[in-house]
Amino acid sequence: MTQSLDERAGSGGLSSAEVAARVADGRTNADGARTSRRLLDIVRANVVTPFNGLLTVLFVIIAVTGRWQNALFGLVVLANTLIGVVQEVRAKRTLDRLAILHAPRARVRRDGSEHELPLADLVADDLVLLRAGDQVPADGEVVSADGLEVDESLLTGESDPIAKGEGEEVMSGSIVVAGAGAFVATGVGADAYATRIATEARRFQVTRSELMTATNTILKWVALTMVVVGPVLLWSQFRSPDNDTWQDAVTGAVAALVGMIPEGLVLLTSLAFMVATLTLARRQTLVQELPAVEGLARVDVVCLDKTGTLTQGDVGFDRIETLDGSDQEPAATGTTGTTGTTGTTGTTGTTGTTGTTGTRIEQALAVLCRGDGNATSAAIAAAMPDPVAEPSSAVPFSSARKWSACTLRERSWVLGAPEMVLPAPATPAQRAARGRADEIARQGSRVLLLTRAEQPPTMAPNGTDWALPDGQRPAALVILAERVREDAADTLRYFTEQGVALKVISGDNPRTVGAVAAAVGVPGVAGARDAVDARELPEDLDELAAQVEAHSVFGRVTPHQKRAMVGALQRRGHVVAMTGDGVNDALALKDADIGVAMGNGSPATRAVAQLVLLDSQFAHLPDVVAEGRRVIANIERAANLFLVKNVYSVLLAAVTAVTLAAYPLAPIQLSLISAVTIGVPGFFLALGPNRRRYVPGFLRRVMRFALPTGIVTGACAYAAYLLARSLDSAGGAAGVDGARTSAALTVLIVSLWTLMVQARPLAGWKLALVAAMAGCVVLVVLMPLSSTVFLLYFTPLRIAIALACGAAGAFGVELSWRAVQAMTRARDGHEAVAS
């Protein structure tokens, strides 16, 4: 018999038998979504493409002609497909292992005890436990709540946290920002409102990026050109007097179409992303969306959370400074510690006990910090004695409120940020407490203020939040110590040298944040006085953007202010990265162009981030930037090589269509040219090191180089073809073969020079690469089987024509490259040129 919700709340949860029955019925939280593509999907995506389909058709056509040596491009298609499949499978296995290892987990009660399990293992009617920082894993009805508040803005856009009581619904994907509770799962798997929220960030996807957008634009233009030029070219080849048979006409048309297809460009782009992802995985950085590698290289503003990013994140309890000696009396049986010196704030000292219950202050802190789920509360609770009494009422801590409260034995206690607990100090004691807190904060320590009052907090007039009690009396300052990361200064210095603006955005006291920022070398920050109190920031996004651009350090920033600051910077055209580890960072990470979460951060933060630093080492970010820059710069080089071939292929097709001449190159010769001057060197260039900074305008720069270079190459190739036809004594088919030999060798020479230009500066491995490709060309010229394999029929005259036209083409490419470099420097700056 199924238990009611009330019965479930008071029970030990489902039994093992009940869980097994629900699993058998398929009532689990597994929604069928995969964090990566299946093997069949990978094979299909790499095989079934428009250009592969076209090349396959052309391969069949060439096979029908019986001229098998011209069908070598079919093997190139097969090789590209195999490389793509193998590399993606490798990436899939690595990323799947990391995703499973670091995936968020849920806490449930079954058989009377608490268990932690993967989200997919939840079943309907499970009793799920929640605390601050969790992302709700399924839809359900709350059966117990202790100040439970959730943020549903990722689902509904509602910006204010919503209090949840017994009987109210929680939705999967919402984030617990305060309190604790439990709910019975009523909607799991595909039935849940937003199960995809928790897994979306880890799903394999090639999302929108400048590289992918530019590549797709190139492919669209190539396809359109083929649709327009193809039919005219085929007609001209059948009308050409140079073609004696239908096989000659078909071979020429196929050669032109094969030359227009950038068959390896998409492969190299995807391959570069995958290799970068695997490289970063070995450095403990999980890339949850492939283009995030490219994205961080494009970032010009990095927003940093202080705790867990600039500091270690393991907040440590330092001491308590009492502000009211009367509360040093034991709560029950403890022996109090010594009293310190008398200063401007009254009698201060460090509490200490030898008993088991401690002082009233310690008992209040023990109750207030119990089970809040954040590092600060955990550090304080660990240093306090066990609570001896349960509070009669409590208000849990939230990042927006920045305080918590409880009532013990008819006395209320409030703990939180000094300026939030006492926003307008009225009495001398209150002003003294705020002054002492500010003094400690300026030293870089985190400070909390504990007050006591006769009345508990009351619900605010808006009905959604709590109001502080009147007549608060400062009782103690709680000082916490944080360790600055040893690598933080070097990492920030790297970003500064790269021209990236740094913004430290924290919920802590502005003075504390400013002191830490100055210690790690944030530019323009000399100390605590340079920090901005976010409570004074305007709400208008344009005004907010001006303030955020003008300053570098902000304290007392609420979660929704963090989100607004990211949005304001984006409105100004900035590409923004956001790093963080707490639940208060989740919304900003989700909206940022690149969200970076720490591996020890909250599940909600890791779920929405695009990059996760698995070992929580901030120093890995320069590695990600370097990989992104390498990918962008190298794909630009490879794209230049591919686009040059497309341009001269289209030019030669247009000229032959007008003149009714035979196409100057055979398919097998184009396969040789593609392999030696584009495919093999492009592969190494795409994966080699490159430190060039990112500069916008990828497609514009590629076209600026490819168009003139392709025109020069095509013109020289056709000139060599015409010269060979007019000067060579051979006629008929032999004359066409001889002219194609001169044209092919000309294209090889000019393309090798193009490769050398793209490989500059020629040093080390790049010089060896160009030399190896040139050696391959020389070997082909000297090889006796060249005529049989590549349809190259060398004679001294044909070689001389090719050398002359090739030299002229190389000179033209050099002039074109120098002109393009000058234009690029003038438009995009020195950083945009090849390096």
Rg (C-alpha) for the chain, rounded Å, is: 34
Q: Which of 125, 134, 242, 305 is catalytic?
A: 305
Q: Looking at the DSSP assignment, which residues form a beta bridge with residue 285?
A: 613
Chain-centre distance for alpha carbon 519: 28
Element (H or E) spanning 470, and its range?
A: none
In angstroms, rounded to a whole number, what is the distance separating the alpha carbons of residues 266 and 187? Answer: 41
SS3 of 526-579: CCHHHCEEHHHCCCCHHHHHHHHHHCCEEECCCHHHHHHHHHHHHHCCCCEEEE
Give the CA-trace dihedral at 223, 229, 230, 236, to 10 degrees: -170
φ/ψ (deg, to 5) at 613? -85, 100
Q: What are phi and psi of 448, to 5 degrees?
A: -120, 150
Whole-number Å distance between alpha carbons of 320 and 447: 10
Backbone angles phi, psi at 457, to 5 degrees: -60, 150
Parallel, antiparallel or unpaired: strands 105-110 and 127-131: antiparallel
Q: Two tokens at 224?
A: 């359109």
Residues with Cβ < 8 Å from 173, sequence gap 6 or more?
A: 135, 136, 154, 155, 193, 194, 195, 196, 197, 198
Q: CB 356: neighbour CB atoms within 10 A?
A: 11
Q: What does the alpha-carbon distance between residue 73 and residue 89 come to, in Å, rounded to a whole number?
A: 24
Angle between helix 246-260 and helix 667-674 axes, rounded to 10 deg = 20
41 catalytically annotated: no
Q: How many CB atoms lie within 10 A of CB 190?
A: 13
How far apart (Å, rounded) are the C-alpha atoms in residues 809 and 717?
Answer: 9
CB atoms within 10 A of CB 570: 17
Residues 6+ apart with CB under 8 A from 188: 27, 28, 29, 122, 123, 124, 126, 138, 139, 195
Contact 226, 57 (CB under 8 A): no
**3-state class (DSSP) for residue 612:** strand
Q: How far is CA 750 from the centre of its chain?
A: 39
Length in residues, the chain:
835
Q: Are 89 and 39 in contact (CB under 8 A)?
A: yes
The contacts of residue 444 (CB under 8 Å, 6+ apart) are 482, 512, 515, 516, 519
Measured CA distances, 2 to 128, 139, 164, 430, 468 (Å)? 17, 19, 25, 56, 43
Nearest alpha carbon to residue 554 among 576, 529, 584, 532: 532
Residue carrying the six token digits 């009351």 = 458
- Tell how many helices (H) and how many strands (E) occur in the chain: 29, 25
Q: Of all residues in the chain, what percent are helix, strand and coil, respectively (each to 5)?
A: 55, 15, 30
Q: Are 751 and 674 in contact (CB under 8 A)?
A: no
Triad 523, 529, 531: Cα angle to 5°: 60
The tokens describing 234, both together, are 């085929």
Give the Å distances, CA to CA, from 131 to 146, 161, 180, 187, 508: 9, 14, 4, 20, 21
From 432, 595, 436, 404, select the one nearest 509 (Cα to Cα): 436
Query: What interhelical angle do 265-282 and 680-687 show, nearest 10?
Result: 30
The residues assigned a catalytic role are 305
